[in-house]
Copies of this chain bind each other. A is one copy, B any other.
Amino acid sequence: MNAYQPQPEASRRILDDVLRASEQLAALPAFPDFDAALQQQVLEEAGKFVGELVAPLNRSGDEVGAQFNAGTVTMPPGFRESYQAFWQAGWPSLAGAVEDGGQGLPTVVEAVLHEMLNAANHGWTMAPGLLHGAAECIRHHASAELKARYLPRLVSGEWLATMCLTEPHAGSDLGLVRTKATPLADGRFALSGTKIFISGGEHDLTDNIVHLVLARLPDAPPGPKGLSLFLVPKFEPDGTRSAVHCERIEEKMGIHASPTCVMRFDEAAASLVGEPGKGLNAMFVMMNAARLLVGLQGIGLLDAAWQKANAYAQERRQMRAPGSASQAGQADPVALHPAIQRILATQRAWIDAGRVIAYRTAIELDLQKHHPEAAKREAAARWCSLVTPVLKSAWTEQAFAGASACLQVFGGHGYVREWGIEQHVRDARVAMIYEGTNEIQAIDLLVRKTLPDGAAALTTLLAELADDVGQSARTRQALQAFSGFVQKQLLPNTRGAGAAPDQPFWLADDFLRALALLLMAWAWDRMATAPHCDATAHAAFWRWVWPELDMRIAMMNATLSAPEHQPAML
């Protein structure tokens, strides 16, 4: 089966025709030299690089995998060479700040690059996936000395970075982290503890690795407020090897090319990043950037699975399709069978709408930072805050479910490794878990970001979306109706003295899904008024995706109207 082929033109159409991306971004003082032509050129070059150097390594990366041997990790064949070519060509620094050695391009260009990279080779892309976030974290929180030493190398991608958060007993609950940091005479700290699930904790892609580690100072209070952030390089500037060791790598369901490491810190010399007790805060910079990239990962993975299934459906002939004009005894391509068309068109509806929403989020990230007007910055911050968890959760879930639907197009061949489609299903599954599980994204959206301000930000977002709708009356009405549901049903039953404290937690998953569907309807309205709209995917959205909205509202109403029926398993 052929490897994934990037389609930069499809992304460009959404950027220019649907979102007026380069127009909006070029108007910002931060991007004086940016325009549509530059954007197009970068996307085309990115497509070439990804298609020629990264995509062909996907299958072998899965088959060979990262290999652990006595503390070292050897990446699959071709990985080091292609990664070296990647950073030397300047790809990691696209959206880095010019003063740090970056190219100062808008975030959305990097976003499209990462969508392509993830579609081409999820395992490979795990390596640079954290770079931008790590650089941002150091940029905002590290001392001048640390910045001078590490920032240029992380912006360029010459060195790679890790996020060392999880411990065996502390996953979603980082407050339980036990790794200790003891002050040393030279102002640094000795770090001791074990971290697990460290993507790229050890490898041979780069000559150095920069670990950002959550740990606890001796006098720190228990819980999340006692966590500080530290930096431990694999090699010190003088070449000394730090006392951080890869103990083993995990055998996983997928992304075999990405080493998931157990890292042991044995009084490793570490530098404090930011203030003591503010470690989680500093880490959140990385995590929020990572969540958009994980949403794009979902979109990319689904697109890769769709490409494979679509190609197979055109070639494979089985039975006559109903109403087919083919001659008796002649079999039609399975793409003509309604069940297959439904699968393909439905996934396309998710991919295209996902792109509109994700690319807009990347644009809003820059508007939030760079727009001269405070109100615009505030609106952009609102979008990013509310939409990022929706993207991360709904599109990683769809990547898995949709890749599985694409596998179904292959019949029995889909279950066989040689066709490559089952790898996408295995790879995609992890994105529902990492960077905050999808359930935690839903709680973030409803409990942390919607209920505390009485849904003020959400209500504004829904109104803005409704104002932006062009043709689709039902989208506008649904946005308004959902606003009414939030005000009249959701808020009164989840706030105040009478409300059960667990009530919102039963609603969070459905609430996030509802918002995902409303955002998709907005995205399809925007695409329908632009040139080149995919009418088949658009029809599939209304017929097979949209009806879930009423189902989610019915589920929430059932929960709200019968709080005494809360399941209680223990």
Contact = CB atoms under 8 A, between A and B. Distances in A.
Interface in A326-356: 329, 331, 333, 335-342, 344-345
Interface in A287-330: 314, 317-319, 321-323, 329
B505 A338 contact: yes
A182 B544 CA distance: 49
Interface string A400-413: 11001001100111
A539 interface: yes
16 contacts: A166-B412, A173-B331, A176-B331, A222-B329, A250-B417, A250-B418, A252-B422, A254-B415, A323-B500, A335-B570, A339-B505, A342-B506, A400-B404, A407-B429, A547-B554, A550-B550
Nearest to A555: B547
Given A253-B415, A329-B222, A337 B568 contact: no
Contact of A175 (B319, B422, B543, B550): B319
Nearest to A535: B567
Contacts of A417: 250-253
A537 to B, nearest CB: 8
Given A253-B426, A337-B439, A542-B558, 13 more contacts: A196-B412, A252-B417, A253-B425, A254-B415, A338-B505, A339-B443, A341-B569, A342-B506, A345-B569, A411-B433, A415-B433, A543-B559, A547-B551
Contacts of A548: 551
Please classify how large the interface on chain A is, using the bins under 10, 10 to 19, 20 to 34, 35 or more. 35 or more
Describe A's contact surface by its main secondary structure. helix
Contacts of A169: 317
Interface string A519-556: 00000000000000000100110111001101100110
A186 B24 CA distance: 83
A173 B326 CA distance: 15
A6 to B, nearest CB: 22
A407 B252 CA distance: 12
Nearest to A567: B536
A254 B423 CA distance: 11
